[in-house]
Structure 1
Amino acid sequence: MTDVLSRSTKHNHDDGARVDVAALGQALLGKWAEVRLQARELAGRPELHKVEGLSHTEHRERVFRQLGLLVENNGVHRAFPVRLGGTSDHGGNVAGFEELVLADPSLQVKAGVQWGLFGSAVLHLGTQEHQDKWLPGIMSMEIPGCFAMTEIGHGSDVASIATTATYDAVTQEFVINTPFRAAWKEFIGNAAVDGLAAVVFAQLITRGVNHGVHAFYVDLRDPETKEFLPGIGGLDDNIKGGLNGIDNGRLHFSNVRIPRTNLLNRYGDVAGDGSYSSSITSPGRRFFTMLGTLVQGRVSLDGAAVGASKVALKIAIQYATERRQFNAASDTEEVVLLDYQRHQRRLLPRLATTYAAAFAHEELLQKFDGVFSGTHDTDEDRQDLETLAAALKSLSTWHALDTLQECREACGGAGFMVENRLTSLRADLDVYATFEGDNTVLLQLVAKRLLADYSKDFRNLDFGVLARFVVGQAADLTWNKSGLRQVAQFVADSGSAQKSAKALRDENTQHELLAGRVQSMVSDIGAALKDAGKLPKDKAAELFNSSQNALIEAARAHAELLQWEAFTEALHRIGDPGTRKVLARLRDLFGLTLIEKHLDWYLMNGRISMQRARTLAPYINRILTKLRPHALDLVDAFGYGPEHLRATIATGIERERQDEARDYYRKLRASKDAPMDEKVMVQKAKARR
């Protein structure tokens, strides 16, 4: 394995700044550095790599065998209890899972289904009796399993799933039914071929009362024949747009009886006589608590998406520093792609966003570990984790798809070749935008939390305090929207574009602009929805729907702010001055491209002057120029060797081709055999006249 982190050299450049690649790489590895490096070594093994061109059935068989290799190499059991052979290391477990995307996204997701969803459901929703009974087989792959939550009729609306588990007190069994086709479990990993059992989510009904969604352990197939057990059926989803190493399928149940003790009853139980009990009295809170225990799927997808973005940028930037095209700057030398401003605009802001997403993910992972280790496990901690995971998973998965596509295009025809991985990764990661929660729905969840926090500030205030708040808001609106702030900025900036640009690169200014946008958007929506609670249900829903787009945009702005803050916190922890200087520029690039992206909002709301707005794009371009010499260092710090990239254009082959071509033309020009260019011949003829 090529370990770029072991390099101790510091790369010097003309501006005096330099990047300590090893130190930066260590910072990017985060708290679970050792686990990540172990997982990368495993992901670098050829026997775990995706083989392009396999049929979907061959790919499935290969990935299933690879799960056995993960078990043999102790790569996937960190989260499970020590008594069963795990290490109870929840953060390290997810960190290790994420690195599997380097080998094959199908492997990462199928492993996630087996141990991160199916196994975790037994671990977190069951009792110790359930764990001791089923987890050893789940951990060893003796029991390949499914996580049967999603229904074709209710994708992201889990609370409304239609599968039922009705208790029969006479036989002390639950009877599982999918009453109509829209209730079939759909897109279920391991369902088509490999799954012997499933954790099935269904509406628990006992004594004529529906107690909401609960989880049940259900055997699916005969271990010997691999045929479905009586009452259970399914269909194979066959070839998908990506992740074809996973046997996704559909499941349906017709009067399938399971023992009462197969209810995973940590949060809700049914006694032999059919009486229901729960330590959580509120059905809504109970539902969200049960789903909250399974948040690690979103956490790991966030990290895997960041990893895929890193791979794409390493490939594309490596290629862009070697590939030459057009000779506008010289009669004899073509220009390296990354020296073109537009190419820098295509890749470097996405590099900055990837760094921001990576640092934000590390904070999410530590939050996750705090909750699941029990060190920080209050209701508020769990709510914060849910909100943070929903926000960051949405942004990072969308960013990965955008980055993979842009990197593909930036590499031209070479980027379209399967041997260079970009198209394959793009196809495999496509479903990440809707997997473990549709991104748009997740952002709506984030927005509701923002509104809830906003409303808490005013729930118990008297009229006088509210009146003063309204007056303050009115003054703020007058200051911003009347143009007074624009005038103040114009006076301060007039005659000095340099002064205006300096203000934009100020850390506090960036934070004020990004945070102010979130606060303003949330308060505007809060004001628009303040009377919703007094309206009939249909009118309240109509009012909420009229603000839905604004809600989602506010949630996205909040997630962007979280990423900027995480980047800034990480920047402050960098000890090496040269590395910190380069990273500060990269953080500024991230912040200022966000402001540029939303410049219409800032102008319309009077948060930025026209004078300052005009300086934004030129200043971003200057940052790009200063970052250009450090681009390779910044992607080398990701720490990926050729066994992780597996892209021909990232091996240095393009530099060899370009050097060969330049040497050929250099020798040809120096020889007597070089043909005369027609334009040169015409110019000489004109000169003789």
Structure 2
Amino acid sequence: MTQETPTSPVPDPRVDVDALGVPFLRQRGEVRFPSRALAARPEFQRIDGQSMDEHRDRVFDQLRLLVQENAISRAFPRGVGGGDDHGGSIAAFEELVTADPSLQIKAGVQWGLFAGAVLHLGTEEHHEKWLPGILSLEIPGAFAMTEIGHGSDVASIATTATYEPETEEFVLHTPFRAAWKEYLGNAGIHGQAAVVFAQLVTRGVNHGVHAFYVPIRDGADFLPGVGGEDDGLKGGLNGIDNGRLHFTNVRVPRTNLLNRYGDVAADGSYSSPIASPGRRFFTMLGTLVQGRVSLDGAAAAASKTALQIAVGYGNQRRQFNASSDTTEEVLLDYQRHQRRLLTRVATTYAMGFAHEELLEKFDDVFSGAHDTDEDRQDLETLAAALKPLSTWNALDILQECREACGGAGFIAKNRFTALRADLDIYVTFEGDNNVLLQLVAKRLLSDYAEEFRNLDAGVLARYVVRQAGNAALHRTGLRQLAQTWADTGSEKRSANFLKDPQTQRELLTDRVRSMVAEVADVLRGAAKLPQDRAAALFNEHQNELIEAARAHAELLQWEAFTRGLARVEDPGTRAVLTWVRDLFGLGLIEKDLAWYLMHGRLSGQRARTLGPYLNRLLNRLRPHAQDLVDAFGYAPEHLRAEIATGIEAERQEEAMEYQRLRRASADAPVDEKVLAARRKAADLERDRPEVGAERAPGRVRELGGQVPQRVVDGH
């Protein structure tokens, strides 16, 4: 059960920015702060306008700088100079996104994927042989898993590694064009070796996908049998030399098999500590979950950066005279602007709290503190749930921030366009988001089925009756009627219902459970159908399953946010952050309001109250908007956007001072509307002196002040 947050009101709450920043840096500040310091240094930052080749060279040089700064070995064993700090390593790497996403991803390819595969899939012999060179960048490498023809379907890749006992070698071969390894960082020009995933065949038996260490280049030239192409210019991340590889009967020693989970003896016999081929496959892939974890964190970091720029600009830029004839409105005072940005601030806080919990789970598993099969499955499911939401949200946040800054947001020096282009690929990195959510959905179905596996008939019968009763209650509208009766004439009562955290939890949880239950009921018995009919039945409900998984991931974020609230000690900060949590949770309910109405979970009365209450929350949060984004903790060196330097405030002050002096000047031109009003007042005073004297001064002031008599007289 989620820990409740204190609900006692705090009069006129204020945000302690430093205290609010603590939850995002807790237990990781010792690595986040140094990594942020590196990201703030010019030599680690992107230079806009560079050619692709120049950008690639710069990023590769930056990798060398990371080695010199001893910033890349935290996750590795102490025996090779590492720190055995798995969570700290991810936390440090994701901060590099503020310097240049190309740097963050290329570092992740080299030391997360390539080195990580050797570390987690290999044995001590492999560690001693290759890790020192990989860590020092003496061996730049690629992670060659994805094939053009199968994408996220790793189990079906076509590259083979066939063992020959007479030479004690594996022969790697690409049988057709669609089996080329594709989208590989470091494969275009820099990679000297690769961890290649292939179907292991020995003694005529295919034992499934395994990983092999394969040298691919000698300097700039491919080794015999290895071929490839440079992917060239991409939509973003052009500091990374992505490319494709293929193999024509390339031979590697038997010992180049990364054999932690499966080994081949000299005579060709195969052995594995995991008997089940399916479980073995998922165990091997599960060791590489760090990529999804780091993308989740990097997406949150990029979102914070964008919002810190956009909210700061919205607090300075003025547009239109709404409440004053002399002073224009600050953009963030407009309700629509608050809807655009503050709702996304709330989403980013939820992403941040959820990522911290994911990072802790990752560290627990990989440090060995909690490393059971169940722990690993939970970690994989959590990463597969959160990575899609954070990467999708990042694109949405970057686009909305760009638009909220108008034309200035489209200028390259204000960062939004480049960040969005670079993060676009995150939604398909490490697995397409929809495929990942399908994995989550299958886990939800499995857990749902597990609840009833050992229940007796009596319990099952009671469950069926209860479900039937609930369905009848919702279908007949009795629940809605009860809500409406309780709320009749009281908007406040409806609002109190919605802002209650237990209500939010129940609504979000009920949606997930109901969606899973509906699909589970339909799919019950599918295993007994012929394969084609079972597949067709599943496909008919695939979208519902993915929507259920997405709702589940949103619930995970809300739960993490609520737990994070309990750790905020300052009362004023906690009060403000509670409003932010409510804005996030009720925003999710508003997004899916049609579902809640159609399924009888909310009455029309309460549904109508939701929008106005969200607007009230926005109004409460408006004074704290700058503090909320400043708490993300990024300095001007991280933001590097001209509109985030205070230049807009200077421009607005200059404009207001100019207008003030202009109004005070006797020689200033007169606005046509003011002149017309003055003449009308003069005419009225001549015709009806008692009315004109009463109305004219106020009307002239309303339109901008006094008009010299010489102008009225036509001089």
TM-score of the two chains, using structure 1 as the length reference: 0.97
CA contact (8 A) 2:20 2:573 kept: yes
Match for 1:136 among 132, 141, 153?
Answer: 132
Which runs of no fewer than 5 residues in structure 2 stay unpaired?
1-9, 684-715
Q: Show the counterpart of 1:348.
A: 342
Match for 2:306 among 289, 308, 312?
Answer: 312
Q: Show the counterpart of 2:189.
A: 193
Is 2:386 the counterpart of 1:385?
Answer: no
AA aligned to 1:33 is G
Is 2:514 the counterpart of 1:517?
Answer: no
Q: Show the counterpart of 2:652.
A: 658
Q: Show the counterpart of 2:679.
A: 685
Q: Show the counterpart of 1:335.
A: 329
Q: Quick one: distance in 2 between partners of 1:228 and 1:314?
A: 45
Q: Show the counterpart of 2:33.
A: 37
Is 2:127 the counterpart of 1:158?
Answer: no
Match for 1:394 among 379, 388, 395?
Answer: 388
Q: Show the counterpart of 1:88.
A: 84
Which runs of no fewer than 5 residues in structure 1 stay unpaired?
1-13
Identity %: 71
The CA deviation at 1:461 is 2.9
Q: Show the counterpart of 2:604.
A: 610
Is 2:548 the counterpart of 1:554?
Answer: yes
Match for 1:457 among 445, 451, 454?
Answer: 451
Q: Show the counterpart of 2:662.
A: 668
Q: Show the counterpart of 1:10.
A: none
CA contact (8 A) 2:56 2:240 kept: yes
The CA deviation at 1:464 is 3.0
AA aligned to 1:516 is D
Q: Show the counterpart of 1:629.
A: 623
Residues 281-322 of structure 1, C-alpha deviation per residue, up to 9 Å, x if partnerless?
A: 000000000000000000000000000000000000000000
Q: Quick one: distance in 2 between partners of 1:24 and 1:665?
A: 39
CA contact (8 A) 2:23 2:353 kept: no
Per the alignment, in what secondary structure is the counterpart of residue 572 of structure 2? helix
Cα distance change on mapping 1:250 and 1:84 into 2, 3 Å: same
Residues 109-154 of structure 1, C-alpha deviation per residue, up to 9 Å, x if partnerless?
A: 0000000000000000000000000000000000000000000001
Q: Show the counterpart of 1:470.
A: 464
Is 2:586 the counterpart of 1:576?
Answer: no
Per the alignment, in what secondary structure is the counterpart of residue 457 of structure 1? helix
AA aligned to 2:12 is G
Match for 1:217 among 213, 216, 219?
Answer: 213
Is 2:421 the counterpart of 1:427?
Answer: yes
Per the alignment, in what secondary structure is the counterpart of residue 37 of structure 1? helix
Q: After superposition, where does 1:156-555 map in structure 2 within 5 Å?
A: 156-223=152-219, 226-555=220-549
- Structure 1 window deviating more from structure 2 (679-688 vs 496-505): it is 679-688
CA contact (8 A) 2:504 2:585 kept: yes
The CA deviation at 1:458 is 1.5
Q: Quick one: distance in 2 between partners of 1:26 and 1:121?
A: 33
Report how many residues are paired: 674
The CA deviation at 1:350 is 0.4
Residues 188-227 of structure 1, C-alpha deviation per residue, up to 9 Å, x if partnerless?
A: 000010000000000000001000000000000014xx20
| Alignment RMSD (CA, Å) | 0.8
Per the alignment, in what secondary structure is the counterpart of residue 59 of structure 2? helix
AA aligned to 2:462 is R
AA aligned to 1:313 is L
Per the alignment, in what secondary structure is the counterpart of residue 222 of structure 2? coil
Per the alignment, in what secondary structure is the counterpart of residue 165 of structure 1? strand
The CA deviation at 1:506 is 0.4
> Greater CA radius of gyration, 1 or 2?
2
The CA deviation at 1:15 is 6.1
Per the alignment, in what secondary structure is the counterpart of residue 335 of structure 1? coil
Per the alignment, in what secondary structure is the counterpart of residue 672 of structure 1? coil
Per the alignment, in what secondary structure is the counterpart of residue 324 of structure 1? coil
Match for 1:61 among 57, 60, 76?
Answer: 57
AA aligned to 1:654 is E
Q: Quick one: distance in 1 between partners of 2:108 and 2:476?
A: 53
Match for 2:16 among 20, 30, 33?
Answer: 20
Q: Quick one: distance in 2 between partners of 1:27 and 1:470?
A: 43
The CA deviation at 1:410 is 0.3
Q: Quick one: distance in 1 between partners of 2:43 and 2:612?
A: 49
Residues 580-621 of structure 1, C-alpha deviation per residue, up to 9 Å, x if partnerless?
A: 000000000000100000000000000011000000000000
Q: Quick one: distance in 1 between partners of 2:153 and 2:632?
A: 37
Q: Quick one: distance in 1 between partners of 2:665 and 2:25?
A: 53
Per the alignment, in what secondary structure is the counterpart of residue 325 of structure 1? coil
Q: Quick one: distance in 1 between partners of 2:456 and 2:77?
A: 51
Q: Quick one: distance in 1 between partners of 2:67 and 2:471?
A: 60
Q: Quick one: distance in 2 between partners of 1:549 and 1:648?
A: 43
Q: After superposition, where does 1:113-128 map in structure 2 within 5 Å?
A: 113-128=109-124
- Structure 1 window deviating more from structure 2 (471-480 vs 544-553): it is 471-480
Is 2:613 the counterpart of 1:643?
Answer: no
Q: Quick one: distance in 2 between partners of 1:633 and 1:460?
A: 52
Q: Quick one: distance in 1 between partners of 2:460 and 2:580?
A: 42
AA aligned to 1:121 is A
Q: Quick one: distance in 2 between partners of 1:519 and 1:238?
A: 46
Q: Show the counterpart of 1:595.
A: 589
Residues 127-183 of structure 1, C-alpha deviation per residue, up to 9 Å, x if partnerless?
A: 000000000000000000000000000100000000000001110100000100000
Q: Quick one: distance in 1 between partners of 2:26 and 2:118?
A: 29
The CA deviation at 1:460 is 3.1
TM-score of the two chains, using structure 2 as the length reference: 0.94
Q: Quick one: distance in 2 between partners of 1:628 and 1:533?
A: 54
Q: Quick one: distance in 2 between partners of 1:24 and 1:33?
A: 14
Per the alignment, in what secondary structure is the counterpart of residue 123 of structure 1? helix
Q: Show the counterpart of 1:563.
A: 557
